[in-house]
A and B are shown apart, each in its own frame.
Chain A
Amino acid sequence: MKITASSYITPTGAFLNGQLKFTFQSENWLKESYQQLELDYPKFHKMDHLSKMTVLATELIQSEGSLSELKDDELELLFANTNASQHTDMKFIESYTQQGNPSPSLFVYTLPNILTGELAIRNKWYGENTFFIAPQFDSNLFAERLYHASQKGGTWCLCGWVDSKVDEKNQVTEECFLFLVALNGNTADRSSFASALNELLTNYRKGNSGNSNR
């Protein structure tokens, strides 16, 4: 189990493999990131924030080494967050409590695993996928599930911690951390893998806060 690439996106900036790729200037940072990455994928604009962040962070990872050489069902998707689809859930509730009608285009994004669906569609990936909910970033959960995947003969896993939370003051907190794992070969034990994973995210979070003066 070895992390071969990682990316991290928040409203302040985007990182790839620990390096700052760009900082965002505007409120519309997701669109800014889309333009920075020179994406041409109109479906992007219909997505919720979780899916947008995930698609962007995956593009970042693929910008330095495509995953297209893998078989179309070889890559397992392993994602998690704390707040499920709460950000879109609140918008959907607003559509029927305040705007007169439940919105079908919001409703279809009121499940966290829709983001893995968007990734699968974008990249034509047919592999295994699971979405977990954990009270906070849970490196042990990832380490354990990656170990299971390796024991079952899996080879590659794209993992993500992607969260979007609206608080009572309507402030949105968003974060997307992706890491690509080669499952075979290196047989690092699960607890040291989990520690390394925690350290990686901690560094991203620190680095990110250092660039937040905009």
Chain B
Amino acid sequence: MESNVFLSYGTLVTPIGIGIDANFKSLKNGISGIQQKEHAGFKQENWFLSTMENLQGNRFNTLLETALNDLKKSYPEALLSDQKTCFILSSTKGNIDHLAGDVFASARTLIGNITNNPNDVIVISNACISGVIAINTAADYLRYSGFDTVIVIGIDVVSDFVLFGFQSLFALSDEPARPFDKNRKGISLGEACGIIVVSKEKTTASSVEYLSGASSNDANHISGPSRTGEGLFRVVNKTIERAAIPHSEIDFISAHGTGTLYNDEMESIAFMRCELQNVPTNSLKGFFGHTLGAAGVIEVIVCMLSIEHQLLFESKGFEETGTTQEINLVKQTHPASVKTVLKTASGFGGGNAALLIRK
């Protein structure tokens, strides 16, 4: 039997709050970070984004510093600097203002300086599934590499580069993203930083047990999701098999749900094929936008809040079924018995990843 792994939230810095409590309050009150930003896009177009106006100077560094300093409020410096603690960074574009140089260098330096941790920072850049893969990787380092604590940081900021790119793909919505809705038109980009502390023991009352995780490729298209949901279907089944639990034990699914026509359709097909179509499901992209490399981490933190508070958050923006397979989306935030949660992610490069956590 493999040793137990627990996840505890470190911090969450998003446009709807700095710190876990502030974000919880906003989520509970239905406050979204997505707003129209004038002249933000290529050719000065207006787009709906979930961004933080108050990030001064180098926005990536400021966001990372803010998150690490908030982490230090709840985790002792002795733990962060311990030789048996290591950091995993999940990000798609890192400090993109540093191109043509090393976009991940500033994060390595900042993490080292702020935490005094002596180990190399492990960096994962695997598109939109980076965050879920990073948590799965952290569990491996804990189980097999002799670390007592692995700290996972998911971070990405909105930049011209990424905004113009999604604009060129016609993937942006001209209203706040509405994942899984009949009238969904695309994504809203967002920025955020989330930190999860992975350890061998339950460190706080809100810690959850990590059961299993996996990744799988669609082998279909580099920028278009599979029509059959093959990769997601496989990875969800693999994750459930590894946890050795029946499908019926899953109380809630935190889906990827970007708000594009094809992605959400693919997810609905995969969940139906996994016979999970009746399990309450949401996408948090209507609150935070699509935060790319941060998404998996911040969404797992919200799953932990659902377990802690026995509360399912609405799938913001969803009104009417808009996928050929009807799945059970959470229309309104409501109390519920939440013990076992499945988190999924899908992304460019055909990647899919999933993990299971339990109260």
User: Which residues in B have their C-beta under 8 angstroms from that of A138?
Assistant: 120
Q: Give complex CA distance A180, B20 in Å.
A: 43
Contact with A along B87-121 (1 / 0, CB 8 A): 00000111000011011110010000000000010
Q: Give complex CA distance A99, B234 in Å.
A: 42
Q: Does B230 contact A (CB under 8 A)?
A: yes
Contact with B along A87-118 (1 / 0, CB 8 A): 00110110010000111100111111111111
A102 & B168 in contact (Cβ 8 Å cutoff): yes
Q: Does B301 contact A (CB under 8 A)?
A: no
User: Which residues in B have their C-beta under 8 angstroms from that of A126?
Assistant: 216-219, 230-231, 234
Q: Give complex CA distance A129, B345 in Å.
A: 13
Partner of B350, one of A109, A121, A144, A145: A121
Give the size range of A's interface with the partner.
35 or more
- The interface residues of chain B, by DSSP majority, are classed as mixed
* Contacts A130-B124, A132-B123, A133-B125 given; does A151 touch B216 at CB 8 Å: no
Partner of B219, one of A109, A114, A121, A151: A121
Stretch at the interface among A8-16, A53-61, A78-86, A200-208: A78-86
* Contacts A107-B168, A110-B165, A148-B140 given; does A117 touch B100 at CB 8 Å: no
Q: Please give the distance in Å from A165's CB to the nearest CB on chain B.
A: 9
> For residues 204 through 218 of chain B, which have their beta carbon under 8 Å from a beta carbon of chain A?
214-218
User: Which residues in B have their C-beta under 8 angstroms from that of A124?
Assistant: 219
* Contacts A111-B125, A151-B143 given; does A82 touch B102 at CB 8 Å: yes
B144 & A147 in contact (Cβ 8 Å cutoff): yes
Q: Give complex CA distance A161, B348 in Å.
A: 20
Q: Please give the distance in Å from A2's CB to the nearest CB on chain B.
A: 18
Partner of B222, one of A101, A108, A132, A147: A108
Q: Does B161 contact A (CB under 8 A)?
A: yes
User: Which residues in A have their C-beta under 8 angstroms from that of B105?
Assistant: 135
Partner of A113, one of B93, B141, B161, B351: B351
Q: Give complex CA distance A144, B100 in Å.
A: 30
Q: Does B78 contact A (CB under 8 A)?
A: no
Q: Give complex CA distance A124, B231 in Å.
A: 11
A101 & B125 in contact (Cβ 8 Å cutoff): no
User: Which residues in B have their C-beta under 8 angstroms from that of A151?
Assistant: 140, 143-144
CB closest chain-A residue, reference B349: A117
B145 & A148 in contact (Cβ 8 Å cutoff): yes
Q: Give complex CA distance A107, B348 in Å.
A: 11
Q: Does A199 contact B (CB under 8 A)?
A: no
B219 & A90 in contact (Cβ 8 Å cutoff): no
A130 & B220 in contact (Cβ 8 Å cutoff): no
B127 & A111 in contact (Cβ 8 Å cutoff): yes
Q: A84-B94, A111-B127, A118-B222 are in contact. List 12 more A-B contacts (CB 8 A).
A: A73-B234, A77-B217, A102-B168, A110-B93, A111-B348, A113-B349, A114-B127, A121-B221, A121-B350, A128-B216, A148-B140, A148-B143
Residue numbers of B with Cβ under 8 A of A are: 42, 92-94, 99-100, 102-105, 108, 120, 122-127, 133, 137, 140-141, 143-145, 160-161, 164-169, 214-223, 230-231, 234, 238, 348-351
Q: What are some 5 contacts across the A-B interface (CB < 8 A)?
A: A72-B219, A96-B160, A113-B351, A135-B105, A144-B145
